[in-house]
Amino acid sequence: MAGGVVKRAYKYRFYPTPEQADQLNRTFGCVRLVYNKALDERTLVYATEKRSMTYAESSAALTEWKKTEDLAFLGEVSSVPLQQTLRHLQAAYAAFFAKRSRYPRFKSKRRSRASAEYTRSAFRWRDGQLTLAKQVDPLNMVWSRPLPEGAEPSTVTVSRDAAGRWFVSLLVEDPTVQPLPPTNTAVGVDAGIASLVTLSTGEKVTNPRHERADRRKLAKAQRELSRKAKGSQNRAKARVEVARIHARIADRRRDHLHKLSTRLVRENQTVVIEDLSVRNMLRNHSLARAISDAAWSELRGMLEYKAQWYGRGLVTVDRWFPSSKLCSVCGVLTESMPLAVREWTCRCGVTHDRDVNAARNILAAGLVES
């Protein structure tokens, strides 16, 4: 954040007219098609010519596709989201070659997020009203919170979730995000399941278990879905009902994580966490559901960008650091510590709560690293 204003996305629901919904749905389909076709061509070029296709080559190919009879419909939607999806593909390849992510995958009509990104040349922003390219009327947006005064969106992303809800995300410069006054406090955070996180202060933050709270309702909706004939209207309605329950769970979870991450960053100059490999942990089938519901990766992501926003430090401790088995008082390492052991006594005579002890060790290790 140093040296400039933070760019921040403000997300709002909106309710499109039938004409707007039709245009946007066609745009989503074209975006997905262009991404998949470009990915297919890049993969083929590498397999046959042993070289990487550039963004410029993909962009030139898009121009040629529009001239063909089969793909002429690509010209019926705004060209900007199609160019943006090529840029996203380029970024995905860059992340792959930098070993930050896996090889890019094809977008699925059912499972992938339906979205389109518009840059400044493809929308009009006037008096707080947003009109997208190829559309006449502004979007009917629900202003759940105000934009910063005088904010002008530089990028607009429109999306539709599996529950049929429509959202628009406005990327603006937000001068209200400023570094917080320095403080001399630091906290270690141990992620868990019984408690969502345990802090080195001894506080345990309860895990709301949002998915478990709606599990019965979700199971009933999924049974109803399984009974519907494939391809029927009733099956489509049942699928939306399942998606609505999932969306409600995700919304509540996200709200809780935002409040927790904001509080940790505001109260502490340094936050220390473990570098957990959640993907590997999900292979434990007996705990996978609970780990997914805890959403540790999402919490970490929030801590990362909020620490950057507010001038705080976020330190990660190596995942192999034996935080649970190490006595935070005398430093003696216990050989074995089964997961079922929640409290233990060190030979120095101190009795530890497993999670509080781990959080204190995480804090100590993080302060050494920082």
Q: What is the pLDDT of residue 284?
A: 64
Mean pLDDT, the chain, as a whole number?
Answer: 91
Q: What is the pLDDT of residue 2?
A: 45
Annotated catalytic sites, by residue? 190, 274, 355
Q: Which residue has the tokens 């518009």?
A: 118
Q: Does residue 278 register a pLDDT over 80?
A: no
Q: What is the pLDDT of residue 286?
A: 61
In 3D space, the residue among 204, 184, 189, 186 whose CA is nearest the CA of residue 362 turns out to be 189
Q: What is the pLDDT of residue 337?
A: 84
Each residue's pLDDT tens digit, 153-164: 999 999 999 999
Q: What is the pLDDT of residue 195?
A: 87
Bridging pattern class, strands 123-126 and 129-132? antiparallel
The pLDDT-based confidence of 109 (bands split at 50, 70, 90) is confident
Domains of the chain are: 6-174 (no CATH), 186-207+252-369 (3.30.420)
Average pLDDT over residues 337-345: 86
DSSP state string for 66-88: HTSSTTGGGGGS-HHHHHHHHHH
The pTM is what? Answer: 0.84
Each residue's pLDDT tens digit, 180-218: 999 999 999 998 888 889 999 999 998 888 888 888 999
In 3D space, the residue among 114, 117, 126 whose CA is nearest the CA of residue 170 turns out to be 117
Q: What is the pLDDT of residue 350?
A: 92
Please say whether the beta carbons of 352 and 359 come within 8 A.
no
**Cβ of 48: how many Cβ atoms within 10 Å?**
8
